[in-house]
Amino acid sequence: MERRQLAQMIDHTLLKPEATVADVIALCVEAAELGTYSVCVSPTFVATAVANVSNGVKVATVCGFPSGKHESDIKAAEAKLAVQQGADEIDMEIDLGRAIMGDWDYIQSDVAAVRAATAGKVLKVILETAALTNDQIEQACLRCKAAGADFVKTATGFHPTGGADVRAIKVMHDTVGGVLGIKASGGIKTAEFAQELIAAGATRLGLSGSRAILDGIAATGSY
């Protein structure tokens, strides 16, 4: 895989609470330069990102973020507004506690509500896999599939249990690989780790340090 191909797997991400309009504009400029697939920004910056992306870069945003502890109709309304503002992709957060409880009907209904509000757009579902067992990850993936999601995603990057890991990506791939996309995000700091996640089945990467990862790939001459 060439650097350009890897860049097309990246959601170039800025979700820090302290981010400013200037930061988002800089993110969009850098995304065009690097050739990433998208930028991923907070909901209040969707319009800014839409106005500043170029070179075919898509705009992604989050909903129910980062806790997932929002009523489904609130998540759906947030996602609908983002789509109206021009977002191409929505990364929603599930209610992690409901997953730990095994309330899978709730999880499926929650995802379905956001799916209904985002018809024609890409919907990714954040699971916080570091806080889940393999069986829970499997069940969450199956319910996301049933609800019409396009991707399952490891983490917000904000949860104390951690972010992406190879274990979770393998379980996700074994469960819905080839049917749903698999996004690895949270704590991906090196080119080597990115390569491990891709080898395990990741089809998209959520990165805040995209340039460093791409430079690392180029330096190693692999991927």
Q: Is the pLDDT of residue 125 over 90?
A: yes
- The pLDDT value given to residue 218: 65
Return the percentage of the chain with pLDDT > 90, whole number.
Answer: 93
Torsion angle, CA of 18/92/49/47, rounded to 10 degrees? -100
Give counts: helices (H), strands (E), the chain.
Answer: 10, 8
Can you give the pTM of this predicted structure?
A: 0.95
Residues 3-220: name the CATH superfamily: Aldolase class I (3.20.20.70)
- The pLDDT value given to residue 220: 57
222: confidence class by pLDDT, cuts 50, 70, 90: very low
Distance CA(91)–CA(220), nearest Å, equals 31
Q: Is the pLDDT of residue 219 over 80?
A: no
Average pLDDT, the chain: 96
The residue extents of the domains of the chain are 3-220
Return the percentage of the chain with pLDDT > 70, whole number.
Answer: 97
Largest CA distance in the chain: 47
- The pLDDT value given to residue 223: 37
Catalytic residue list = 91, 153, 183
Read off the tokens for 70: 């929002």
Handedness of CA 124, 126, 130, 136 (dihedral sign): negative
Name which of 22, 82, 78 is nearest 52 in CA terms. 22
pLDDT per residue as tens digits for the range 45-75: 999 999 999 999 999 999 999 999 999 999 9
